[in-house]
Amino acid sequence: MVELRPEPQYATLARQTETAQLGMWVFLATEVLFFGALIFGYYIYRISYPDQFLLAGQDTKLLLGSINTALLLTSSVTMVASIEYVKRDDIARAAAALFITALLGFAFLGVKGYEYVEDYRDHTVPLLNFLLKPSQHPPAELFWLFYFIATGIHAVHLSIGIVAVLVMAFHTRHRRYSAAYYSPLEVLGLYWSFVDAVWLFLFAAIYPLGRAG
Partner 1 sequence: MLLPYLISWLVLLVLLGISVLSAYLPLGGFHPLANFGIAVIQAAIVFAIFMRLRDPPAIKWVFAGAGFFWLLFLFGIGVIDYLTRAGFPAG
Q: How many CA atoms lie within 13 A of 210 on its CB side?
A: 17
| Least gap, CB of 5 to partner 1 (angstroms) | 22
Choice between 46 and 154, CB closer to partner 1:
46
Please identify which residue in 26, 92, 128, 160 interacts with partner 1, judged by CB under 8 A. Answer: 26
Q: Are 25 and 192 in contact (CB under 8 A)?
A: no
CA distances to 50, 82, 102, 198 from 47, rounded to whole Å, are: 5, 42, 37, 21
Task: For residue 85, report the phi and psi dihedrals to the nearest 5 degrees.
Answer: -65, -40
43 scored as a contact of partner 1 (CB under 8 A): yes
> Residue 181 in 3-state DSSP?
strand
Choice between 21 and 136, CB closer to partner 1:
21
CA distances to 3, 12, 23, 209 from 205, rounded to whole Å, are: 48, 44, 29, 8
Alpha-carbon span 196 to 72, nearest angstrom: 6
Site string for partner 1, 44-63 (x = CB under 8 A): x-xxx-x-----------x-
Amino acid in the structure at residue 33: L
- The residue range among 109-117, 122-130, 134-142, 203-211 that interacts with partner 1, by the rule CB under 8 A, is 203-211
Q: Which of residues 84-143 bind partner 1 (CB under 8 A)?
A: 84, 88
80 scored as a contact of partner 1 (CB under 8 A): yes
Residues lying near partner 1 in the complex (CB under 8 A)? 18, 21-22, 25-26, 28-33, 36-37, 40, 43-44, 46-48, 50, 62, 66, 69-70, 73-74, 76-77, 79-81, 84, 88, 189-190, 193-194, 196-197, 200-201, 203-205, 207-209, 211-213
